[in-house]
Structure 1
């Protein structure tokens, strides 16, 4: 009789298979925190970057150029007393000399203010012109002088022409172009002729005087003519 080789395993000798974990089983807390940061880390980095940028903009110091563009105050940066300033031409001869009791330079307008100003200018033809006033305002180059208060400009006489005298409370003298003008009343004396006008402009190079506004002229008689200066 043949023996049956079939073996029957004993239930006690076989370990049962481990049961699968349930899909809804709760994970440890540190795993949940790690998953949270992994999901939201890019957003947190972007928020921190934006916050840092805002802080830098807010705390950046003001650029100094804003301060540099602030308008200058009208205050003198230097002064002189009992001064004399001379201007010379390109070839060396003296063109003008400005004297005064006091001088103040204003850098905001590049002008000088002069007390008791006195000017001596030499024209292209060698004729000398004198100017004076209680106060003068000249540009930085010294080519223009505004005469205020008791202003007078006198172009000296020549062998062929009498002196030309301008008087008023305001006269504007242009030394380079040899012009004198005023928008206020002036008195002009030339030989025996005396003219009162509300304004005038004189060009020495053109030998031309233009009066503006109302004017009145008078001619002194020969017998009343004073001695020549």
Structure 2
């Protein structure tokens, strides 16, 4: 009798319980819930205009933070004037709508010249760049290089706001300004 009771106890302890569907919730962990390989994702605004294109070799989505980790990201963002910003890196970490992207390893953000204006091409380079696509900002707490037309600046940290046309460079800052030779 005792052996039968012990066997029943062991069986009851090791048998999984089924509570029925949606009443149970798994604890949220930082494990990817899906991944993509060789992908391209496009987002559009409410009028159907292309807003952002994200390409990558592989991406992993993490549901606990609703972030996407991307290998070899290439992000193209279009503003309402049609200006194009391209961001690339070895690795990227994006929020759900790709409006905020942290670029790590050989990070480059290029803002092409705005059509119909005198605003030159701008390029940001560094090991880490934090790009805010909707507000047109680029920040970094690590050394960066900025190339604007023929001018080149380097700094230990940077905060650039394209809408206000304000750049704050910090730490050791160096610059080389090249005069425009087209004007007499």
Range class of TM-score, shorter chain: 0.7 to 0.9
Note the residue ranges of structure 2 that are not aligned, 5 or more in a row: 1-18
Tell me the C-alpha RMSD between the 2 structures. 1.9
How many residues get paired?
157
Matched position secondary structure for 1:214: coil
- From 102, 121, 142, the equivalent of 1:146 is 102
Residue in 2 that maps onto 1:177: 135
Identify the structure with the greater strand proportion. Answer: 2
For residues 95 and 202 of structure 1, the distance between their equivalents in structure 2, rounded to whole angstroms, comes to 21
Note the residue ranges of structure 1 that are not aligned, 5 or more in a row: 1-63, 224-229
Residue in 1 that maps onto 2:74: 118
Identify the structure with the greater helix proportion. Answer: 1
**Which has the higher relative contact order, 1 or 2, with Cα contacts under 8 A spaced 6 or more apart?**
2
Residue in 2 that maps onto 1:132: 88
Higher radius of gyration, 1 or 2: 1
1:27-82 alpha-carbon deviations (Å, 9 max, x no partner): xxxxxxxxxxxxxxxxxxxxxxxxxxxxxxxxxxxxx9xx8584x22111101011
Matched, 1:97 2:53: yes
For residues 69 and 88 of structure 1, the distance between their equivalents in structure 2, rounded to whole angstroms, comes to 33
Matched, 1:209 2:167: yes
Report the CA distance between 1:92 and its aligned residue.
1.3
1:91-131 alpha-carbon deviations (Å, 9 max, x no partner): 11011111000010011111100000001001232211111
Residue in 1 that maps onto 2:10: none
Matched position secondary structure for 2:104: strand
